[in-house]
């Protein structure tokens, strides 16, 4: 049986895998550095790039769904994503 996977799904999954790999590497780096100050710097870096992966992945999904969903649902989803981003900033 052959499975056909949408290109957007492959890209979204790849972004999440790369994000997870970066998180794991950062965890090992924190253990290796063995310093609270340096761990905070690593966490600050993760706080900057984590939302970028989220925003990119959600944007790809929304663009892909744009032709398949009613405009009102896309506005609700976009509003939800915006609220999540706003919550991450505060």
Segment 36-60, tens digit of pLDDT? 999 999 999 998 898 889 889 988 9
Could you say which DSSP state residue 90 is in? -
The chain-wide mean pLDDT, for the chain, equals 89
In this prediction, residue 9 carries a pLDDT of 92
pTM exceeding the 0.85 threshold for the entire prediction: no
- Give residue limits of the domains in the chain: 22-89
Buried b / exposed e over 43-61, threshold 16 CB at 10 Å, is eeebeeeeeebbeebbebb
Task: Please give the Cα distance from 30 to 37 (Å, whole number).
Answer: 10
Residue 34's pLDDT band, with cuts at 50, 70 and 90, is very high
**Which pair of tokens denotes residue 61?**
């999904």
């Amino acid at each position: 049986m052959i499975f056909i996977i949408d290109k957007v799904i492959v890209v979204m999954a790849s972004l999440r895998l790369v994000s997870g790999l970066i998180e794991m590497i950062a965890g090992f780096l924190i253990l290796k550095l063995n310093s609270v100050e340096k761990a905070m710097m690593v966490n600050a870096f993760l706080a900057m790039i984590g939302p970028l992966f989220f925003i990119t992945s959600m944007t790809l999904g929304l663009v892909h769904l744009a032709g398949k969903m009613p405009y009102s649902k896309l506005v609700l989803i976009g509003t939800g994503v915006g609220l999540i981003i706003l919550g991450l900033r505060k």
